[in-house]
Every structure is written in structure tokens, then in C-alpha cells.
């Protein structure tokens, strides 16, 4: 049916076709390798994005905890300052009343006056 020359021609044609396909695949890259690379890139980018989101959430949580702790410290310091100011005012009132009593004078400070002084 086929002669030896025809078989050689078909073999050379098939070989030339394979060489041309190989050169084409090498020049543009193998499609399966490109698909695998893209699939790996998608997974890698999703993983990187998830890690970045987790790191940002942890940073925000730590910042909120730090802000809360700082607020508690400032509130405690403000209460201590307010208590010290109240005690100082009470001591000044007592010393003024003592000074007036030593001079045999009456203190006209009423409870309402005292409350007004404590508020202002």
C-alpha cells in the first residue's frame, strides 16, 4: 500500500510537525504550565491577602486594648487628682475655720456654701 518512500515522507512530516509544535509551545509557553502557574498564583495571592487581613485585625485589636488600658490609667490619675484637690480644699476650709475660731470669730460658711465651693 505505502511504499518505503511514502512512509519516510510521512515520518518526516510528523517529525517536522512535532518540531514546529514544540517550538511554538516553547515560544509562548506550555498552556498547561501557564494554567498551573496561574492557579498557584491565585492560591498564593489569596493566602497573602488572608494573612494581611489577619495581621491588620490583630494590629487593630492590640491598638484598641492599648487605648483602653491608657484610658483606664488616665481615669485613675484623674480620680486621684480630683480626690487630692478635694482633700486640699477640705483642709483649707478646716484651717480657715480654725483660724477664725482662734480669733473668736464665727464662720458664716453654711453647708450650701461648702457644696458650692466643692463644685467650683
* Confidence at residue 37, expressed as pLDDT on a 0 to 100 scale: 73
Q: What is the pLDDT of residue 49?
A: 96
Q: Which long-range contacts does 51-54 make (Cβ < 8 Å, 24+ apart)?
A: none
Domains of the chain: which residue ranges?
4-119
Q: Where are the beta strands (DSSP E) in 14-77?
A: none
pTM greater than 0.75: no
Amino acid 102: pLDDT: 83
Task: Quote the pLDDT of residue 32.
Answer: 72
Number of H helices, E strands in the chain: 3, 0
Q: Give the long-range contacts of residues 81-89, CB within 8 A, separation 24 or more.
A: 86/118, 89/117, 89/118
Distance CA 107, CA 12 (A): 126
Q: How far apart are CA 8 and CA 16, in angstroms?
A: 12
Q: Output the pLDDT for position 106.
A: 67
pLDDT tens series, the chain, 120 aa: 678 888 889 999 999 999 998 888 777 766 677 777 777 788 888 999 999 999 999 999 999 999 999 999 999 999 999 999 999 999 998 888 888 888 877 666 778 888 888 887
Amino acid at each position: 500500500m505505502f511504499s518505503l518512500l511514502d512512509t519516510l515522507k510521512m515520518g518526516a512530516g510528523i517529525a517536522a510537525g512535532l518540531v514546529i509544535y514544540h517550538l511554538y509551545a516553547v515560544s509562548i509557553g506550555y498552556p498547561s504550565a501557564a494554567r498551573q502557574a496561574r492557579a498557584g498564583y491565585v492560591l498564593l495571592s489569596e493566602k497573602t491577602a488572608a494573612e494581611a487581613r489577619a495581621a491588620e485585625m490583630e494590629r487593630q485589636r492590640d491598638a484598641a486594648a492599648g487605648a483602653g488600658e491608657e484610658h483606664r490609667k488616665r481615669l485613675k490619675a484623674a480620680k486621684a487628682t480630683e480626690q487630692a484637690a478635694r482633700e486640699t480644699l477640705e483642709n483649707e476650709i478646716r484651717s480657715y475655720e480654725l483660724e477664725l475660731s482662734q480669733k473668736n470669730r464665727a464662720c458664716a460658711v453654711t453647708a450650701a456654701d461648702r457644696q458650692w465651693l466643692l463644685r467650683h
